[in-house]
Amino acid sequence: MVDLGVSLLVLGAAVLLCEAARRAAARLLPGPAGLYLQEAASTFQLCCCTLELQLLGVDLPVSLALTYGTTLVHLLTFREATCNPGAVLERAWRGDAPRGAAVPLLLAAQFGAAAAARSWAACVWSLGLSAAHRRHRGAGFLCSDPLGGTVPQAAAAELACAFAVQAAAMHAHKLDEKLRAHFMAAVITAVVHTGGDISGAVFNPVLAFSVTFPCSGHTYLEYCFVYWLGPILGMASCILLFEKILPLLSGMGAGAAAQKLKTQ
């Protein structure tokens, strides 16, 4: 319980720090510069919280509650930030990217914040505020192999996780606005605990860069295949299915039905 309490304080400090940065960016840096800082602050928050939660060895009910709670906080505080390179590319493809914002700079802000979060977490852990922090410090801040299956299995799991979350995001607008964040938090929690044993269920290239790429067990290219290619293909296949294939099949079905009516 002491470890849990310390970790909750660390999570709270990270959220408050990043929220202060976001508000400062919104007030003092209008335009693209503020957007880059908000993206960096939100990505930093996501990575810091995930790194801290990974240290906790809690039972399933507590783990589910922590995952749901932190995800809900992220969704309610990120504002326009995506914290995901795939989402940035999707916005650019749709023409919905923030006005004046350059995609390469948004991606650079995300990956820079992810690297900074890793360094910040190591500094916090070095203080030895809890037993979990001291154990990790004693291990040299090294993490073990995050893959619970083979590389193809892990990539497939990441693809499936990204597909499920993208599908939920594409249909969340059908719900009442007050329920959308809770719905997405529930979906992400379910996905994380379903695919976690196979790949860790990260389904976010920049988050994977921060929390899993430093881990031993596989090469950099293998991690790229699992945590970058898998999620991007999952997101792209979901968009293709729901915006291209299903509408086409629906139109063909409607056309066939109309033709049948004409012949009767």
Task: Over range 7-16, report the average pLDDT.
Answer: 96
- With cut-offs at 50, 70 and 90, classify the pLDDT of residue 263: low
pLDDT of residue 41: 97
Lowest mean pLDDT among 50-59, 155-164, 218-227: 50-59
pLDDT reading at 264 higher than 70: no
- With cut-offs at 50, 70 and 90, classify the pLDDT of residue 90: very high
Every domain of the chain with CATH number 1.20.1080.10 lies at: 144-264
Token representation of residue 231 = 């999620």
pLDDT of residue 57: 75
| CA distances in angstroms from 150 to 139, 156, 205, listed in the order given | 25, 10, 19
pLDDT of residue 175: 95
Comparing 12 with 100, which gets the higher pLDDT? 12
Sign of CA dihedral 231, 234, 236, 238: negative
Class of the CATH-defined domain 144-264: mainly alpha
Task: Over range 35-44, report the average pLDDT.
Answer: 96
Task: Over range 198-209, report the average pLDDT.
Answer: 95
Task: Over range 237-249, report the average pLDDT.
Answer: 93
Task: Spell out a b/e string for 12-50, using b for 16 or more CB atoms within 10 Å of the CB, else e.
Answer: eebbeebbebbeebeeeeeeeebbbbbbbbbbbbbbbbb
pLDDT in tens, 135-169: 999 988 888 888 998 999 999 999 999 999 999 99
The three state secondary structure string of the chain is: CHHHHHHHHHHHHHHHHHHHHHHHHHHHCCCHHHHHHHHHHHHHHHHHHHHHHHCCCCCHHHHHHHHHHHHHHHHHHCCCCCCCHHHHHHHHHHCCCCCCCCHHHHHHHHHHHHHHHHHHHHHHHHCCCCHHHHHHHHCCCCCCCCCCCCHHHHHHHHHHHHHHHHHHHHHHHHCCHHHHHHHHHHHHHHHHHHHHHHHCCCCCHHHHHHHCCCCCCCCHHHHHHHHHHHHHHHHHHHHHHHHHHHHHHHHHHHHHHHHHHHHC
Token representation of residue 44 = 């930093």
pLDDT reading at 202 higher than 60: yes
pLDDT in tens, 102-129: 899 999 999 999 999 999 999 999 999 9
Alpha-carbon distance of 29 to 34, in angstroms, equals 5
| CA distances in angstroms from 261 to 248, 249, 254, 264, listed in the order given | 20, 18, 11, 5
Task: Over range 16-23, report the average pLDDT.
Answer: 96
**pTM of the model as a whole:** 0.93
Average pLDDT, the chain: 91
Token representation of residue 190 = 């379910």
Task: Over range 34-54, report the average pLDDT.
Answer: 95
| Portion of the chain with pLDDT greater than 70, in percent | 95
pLDDT of residue 17: 97
pLDDT reading at 257 higher than 60: no
